[in-house]
Copies of this chain bind each other. A is one copy, B any other.
Amino acid sequence: MPDRSMIFPAAEFRRRTGALQAEMATSSLDALLLTTPADVFYTTGFLTRFWESPARPWFVIVPASGDPVAVIPTIGADLMGRCWTRDIRTWQAPDPLDDGVSLLADTLEDLVPSRGRIGVPMGVETHLRMPLADFLRLQDRVAPRVFVDGTAAVCRVREIKSELEIEKIGQTCALAAAYDRVPEFAQIGTPLSQVFCDFQIALLTAGADWVSYVAGGAGPGGYGDVISPADDRPLAQGDVLMLDTGAVRDGYFCDFDRNYAIGPPTDAVRRAHDVLHAATDAALSALRPGMMACDAHRIIADAITRAGAVTGRGRLGHGLGLTLTEWPSLTPLDMTTLRTGMVLTLEPGVEIAPGRIMVHEENIVLRDDGPELLSRRAPADLPVIGA
């Protein structure tokens, strides 16, 4: 049977483990305890949609040296056995009396000295995917070992994509071809909910393994927000339609926002689209490794302001890869240094009128000499449907 662990060769997982261990050493961590789909996939190759069920926790421990150890429910043993990780310890979950806590504690006691420090991602953009009461029990069980914040080690490593990862993300970004088909199914009179449905079908047809995220909006001269599910309102002459997707292929995401005018756009809409394109241009030509995330925000925001438009209040881009959004955030407050190999989205947003916005998003990898687009860029001119 073709083997999903072969998404990457063993050498890639060894590289990742080594990179994590080097970061762990600088933070004096004796182990990392990982619990989320992205971190488990990153360290072992274990890729499944079964995370959708909140019933069972899953654990990977990265020791200070040696390979990661998986402590997982029995139901995952077959799939994990086909992945890179060889040390797999299982329990029969869900178990209301002891849902892996004893097995995890025993494993940590095996791997971590009794005065050791165990890193757990606790910082921004993280959460602990296990019952909090079980984590408190675990703390007691493995004391005097302590749990400390391991976010930096995970974040600094995952932020920099290998060429193998960049190739994967590029393949996912090729799903943007589905946007070319939007005029086939988004017509005046088509309910937005039908457009969302057909867009998901177009993404699957283009080669997505699954579609984890579709959002968007449509409204006269702009839309109100970008996170709502579709309603059944039919597209109308004068609407701007935006479709945002996080489709997945081999476990890696793309993340695009693209716009369409339904019928001839107003001057304000056309100008807003031009501003979004120009702000993306500004970032594409100016971004360099060594800048900070807040510098990227400033470059995009300044380009919008220079064009006489009003920039959106939210972030103007973010990391991308194993999840729809990753560190860093392109905001005025994020001081993360941008480094070669980071995959980022550039997501300028403008406010056309109160409650009327437009956003646009492209995906890049940052190279030594600046950004490289990961897919064919959206057209400079706002596409018009039914003109």
A49→B92 contact, CB < 8 A: no
Q: Mark A138-156, 1 if CB is under 8 A from B, else 0.
A: 0000000000010100000
A281 interface contact, C-beta 8 A: no
B231→A2 contact, CB < 8 A: yes
A133→B122 contact, CB < 8 A: yes
Q: Which among A24-32, A197-205, A296-304, A375-383 touches the partner chain? A: A197-205
Smallest beta-carbon distance A209→chain B, Å: 7
Smallest beta-carbon distance A216→chain B, Å: 11
Copies assembled: 2
Within 8 A of B (CB), among A83-100: 92, 94-97, 99
Q: Which residue from B215, B315, B325, B334 sits with its C-beta under 8 Å from A49?
A: B215
Between A and B, 27 residue pairs with Cβ closer than 8 Å are: A1-B233, A3-B231, A49-B215, A52-B213, A53-B213, A53-B324, A53-B325, A54-B325, A74-B314, A75-B226, A78-B224, A94-B329, A96-B124, A96-B333, A96-B334, A99-B124, A122-B132, A122-B133, A122-B136, A124-B131, A127-B127, A127-B132, A197-B208, A200-B204, A201-B204, A201-B205, A209-B230
* Top 9 closest pairs, chain A to chain B, by CB: A78-B225, A50-B227, A122-B132, A122-B133, A53-B325, A2-B231, A52-B213, A52-B324, A55-B325
A residues with a Cβ closer than 8 A to B are: 1-4, 36, 38, 47-50, 52-55, 57, 74-76, 78-79, 82, 92, 94-97, 99, 120, 122-133, 135-136, 149, 151, 193, 196-197, 200-201, 204-205, 208-215, 219, 224-233, 246, 313-315, 318, 323-326, 329, 331, 333-335, 355
